[in-house]
Structure 1
Amino acid sequence: MSVDPVHRLSEDFFQDPHSVYRELNEHGQVHQVEFPSGMRAWVVTGYDLAKRVFADPAISKELYGSAGEIAQANANTVLRLDPPVNDHMLYRDPPHHTRLRKIAMKALSSAVVRDFTPRIEEIAESVLDEFAGQDSVDLLTTYAYPVSGSGICEIIGIDAADRTKFQGWLATQISTADTDVKYAAAMEFEGYVHRLFDERREKAGNDLISELMSPSADGDRLDQDEILAMVNAILLGSVGTVAGLIGNAVLMMTTQPHLQDELRGDPELIPAFLEETLRYESAGNLASPRFTTQPLELGAHTIGSGEVVLVAAAAVNRDAQHFDRPDVMDVRRAENRHLAFGYGIHRCPGAALARTEARIAIAALLRRYSDISLAVDIEELRWQESLIARTLLSLPVRLEK
């Protein structure tokens, strides 16, 4: 019986996953991989196979269930943290997932969020005001994170003075840091959010935590741990994702300056530009883990029960069998059904909010400056060492009025 080869990846994977995926695709669209941390998983790099993985009921998301426990042991990794912050809908199967997602979608479409667009515009403009007299800034730390972080934190009801701490806790959770470091960050996050609960019980506010603490129309009410986990999931899916999208979009505009002229000349193109950025260089590399609950035929491989399966969004969205000229950035691409926000029942519930925040941030930047260019050689840019995030550590740019 033949044994599937294990492709061992080096630290270079984080800096240029696309070249790694191109090499892997020479051998098919399903691969057994060992990451630099020692974690082993099956990685899917093809679009159609990815949609199947996202939708197959034999592939579980239950991190805290038996399939997740077995898969973590087989993968030589620890994904579970004991604090309840990670016991959220992202790691749940129906029917529990169905209930949590219904409540999340209601909250994210509520007036609290719907009426927030003008405030996001104000935040973007006020952050840009702080650049007065500066011709060079780190676009990620001084603009993308403040806009995305301030926006979602204000929606949730987190004090402005505490938002930098939240950004640190979230970054640690998606990093390749040791488990004990992630655990400590999760515990700090948990303690802070519990204090917010105490405040809202005393006096409800016009914020998402107050919304989540209220019973739904059918009387369903989240318990405290469920709200804690949902707040964590919303923040994880908002701050890093939106900041990364803004940063990656600006990177595209600096490496292809003609895009700036096109977008200034026709601001209606900005949504299409962001969709193409989501496809070409989205803020996500690999989707969150999934676990096989029974043997599975996938591509040319038989994957046993209790294995970790990862969809490589960065590869799937450049699948030459699905996208014409996949390695070309084309804002006028006719068909762009990328999977940057996932697919099926686990598709990101905050996708609309993420698109809105990124659109406002890019539009404000283009209105304010006539030219945005890299302040360092592109080879000097470094990416986060994260399996989940595809986000730069910094993005130094020059700004011209």
Structure 2
Amino acid sequence: MATDSVHRLSGDFFQNPHAVYRELNERGPVHRVEFPSGMNAWLVTGYDLAKEVLTDPTLSKDLYGPPGEQAESNGNTVLRLDPPVNDHMLYCDPPRHTRLRKIAMKALSSGTIRDFTPRMEKIADSLLDGMADRAGTDGMAGQEPVDLLQAYTYPFSISVICELIGIRASDRAEFQGWLATQVSTADADEKHAAAARFEAYVHRLCEERAGKGGGDLVSELMSPADDGDRLDRRELVGMVNVILLGSQETVAGLIGNAVLILLNQPRLLAGLRRDPALVPAFLEETLRYESSGNVATPRFTTAPVRIGGHTVDSGQIVLVAPAAANRDPGRFDCPHDMDPSRPDNRHLAFGYGVHRCPGAAMARTESRIALTRLLSRFPDLSLAVDAEELTWQPSLISRGLLSLPVRLGRSCPAVADVGSPIPQQEQSKGLDAHGRTR
């Protein structure tokens, strides 16, 4: 059973949070912690309690309202960007959240994803073509280390979402810089400045689209819903921000984490190369085992509440750690083993309840395309450094590498297509933990 004493996390927490979570889960499902930044919070690490907290209507996500203000007045580090580009559906409660989520789900519908899939494949192939030109067909040039994150995963994820939204290619590098600053360890002034530039750009984008329509996501978000509801300009800026941030970090990090797992487990890699149709099952287990998310965005107590047997006062921050819950031994057998044939891996990587990520289907599709095509083009792909030398982002929210140096080896011709994703209920039938088909 956890106690009410504060568990202080050291700076190396980000390098290997799973070791910390393993220890905490042995003590109980919820703990008072102090993060390296100095923020104090109640951290939920147990799977069942995580689901309870994620669906508890008494906990608020209203960052820009009284709940967020009270948490900040209690001495917590709660950064509300000005302009409020983070005043979006991730940081609000029903009924406003219900309305915003409905609009987002319509824009990110299965039809949108299906129609854009061929373009995602072309974006992946274009980036891989550039990498293949450097590697050559004999693989000699492919022995030079390449940072896969900078050469492929981030350019792929940002290109996909920017093209879907309608951001010009010439603006994407600057745009990505504003996004990166928002989630970085930069000081508050730098983050506010990046938010202001981001807001001004989205306003200009809206002016260009006004009255013209078009096939991009901004035009879709600007159009009225079936019931006549529409986003105001501030809501539109926030919606574009949350979609961009979620898409970039989730997809780029997930692809990088998946590649690292495969390069460390040759049998799994060989199994996927024999049968690329098994990639969705592997990615689903990656989402449980090493997702690109660490801790969910904060919730705030608005009155004293009982969580996991503890009384948490009003004005406190409550954080759910999906990365810990997804390895809870009370929920998963051998939780620290990577097993794509796991019969039940209902993870919390995309959240749970009303705040479950509306872009989950998009992230799965992007990751499947990017990983399948990468493995096909570079059959000799290998790590260029020892895995122990890799450094992870010092981020509470994201779980991703700062760089992933690889050797490409020889390149092969591009594949025609990546096929259709496997229905989730069938994903556990194909690949065991040793990369063997079943």
User: Using the alignment, how far apart are the partners of 1:50 and 1:75 within structure 2?
Assistant: 25
Rounded Cα–Cα distance in structure 1 between residues aligned with 2:37 and 2:146: 33
Mapped to 2, the partners of 1:176 and 1:27 lie a distance apart of: 31
| 1:1-400 superposed matches below 5 A | 4-109=4-109, 111-131=111-131, 132-134=133-135, 135=142, 136-201=145-210, 203-400=212-409
Matches of 2:308 and 2:333 in 1, distance apart? 22
**In structure 1, what residue type is equivalent to 2:272?**
L
Partners of 1:311 and 1:75 in 2: CA distance: 20
Whole-Å separation in 1 of the counterparts to 2:358 and 2:347? 16
Report how far residue 296 of structure 1 moved.
1.5
Where do 5+ consecutive residues of structure 1 fail to align?
none
In structure 2, C-alpha distance between the alignment counterparts of 1:183 and 1:271, rounded to whole Å: 39
Among all aligned residue pairs of Structure 1 and Structure 2, give the percentage whose two residues are the same amino acid.
69
SS at match of 2:210: helix
In 2: Cα distance, 1:153 partner to 1:262 partner:
33
- In structure 1, C-alpha distance between the alignment counterparts of 2:52 and 2:237, rounded to whole Å: 31
Q: Which SS does the other structure have where 1:183 is aligned?
A: helix
Q: What is the CA-CA distance between 1:63 and the residue it aligns to?
A: 0.7
Is the 1:112–1:207 Cα contact (8 Å) retained in structure 2?
no
Query: Is this contact kept in 2: 1:291–1:306, CA < 8 A?
Result: yes
Q: How many residues align?
A: 400
Give the partner amino acid of 2:74.
Answer: N
Q: CA deviation at 1:281?
A: 0.5
Q: What secondary structure does 2:85 align onto?
A: helix
Output the CA distance in 2 between the equivalents of 1:363 and 1:351: 18
Q: Distance in 2 between matches of 1:75 and 1:257?
A: 48
Question: Shift of the alpha carbon at 1:204?
Answer: 2.8
Structure 2 counterpart of 1:26, one-letter code: E
Which amino acid letter does the alignment assign opposite residue 214 of structure 2? G
In structure 2, relative to structure 1, the CA distance for the partners of 1:350 and 1:75 (3 Å cut) is farther
| 1:310 alignment partner, SS class | strand
Question: What is the CA distance between 1:125 and its match in structure 2?
Answer: 0.6
Paired residues of 1:78 and 1:179 also in contact (CA < 8 A): no
Alpha-carbon contact 1:381-1:394 (below 8 Å) kept:
yes
Aligned to 1:15, the other structure's residue is in SS state: coil
The 2-side partners of 1:110 and 1:210 are apart by 17
Q: 2:82·2:195 contact (CA, 8 Å) conserved in 1?
A: no
Does the aligned pair in 2 maintain the 1:112–1:155 contact within 8 Å? no
Secondary structure of the 2:38 match is coil
The SS at the match of 2:381 is strand
1:319 partner amino acid: D
How far 1:111 sits from its partner (Å)?
4.7
User: Tell me, what secondary structure is at the counterpart of 1:249?
Assistant: helix
How far apart in 2 are the matches of 1:161 and 1:273?
Answer: 35
Secondary structure of the corresponding residue to residue 309 of structure 1: strand
Deviation at 1:245, TM superposition (A): 0.4
Give the SS at the match of 1:175: coil
- From the superposition, tell whether residues 78 and 179 of structure 1 become closer, same or farther in structure 2 (CA, over 3 Å): farther
SS in 2 for 1:244: helix
CA offset at residue 72 of structure 1? 2.4
* Coordinate RMSD, CA, aligned: 1.5
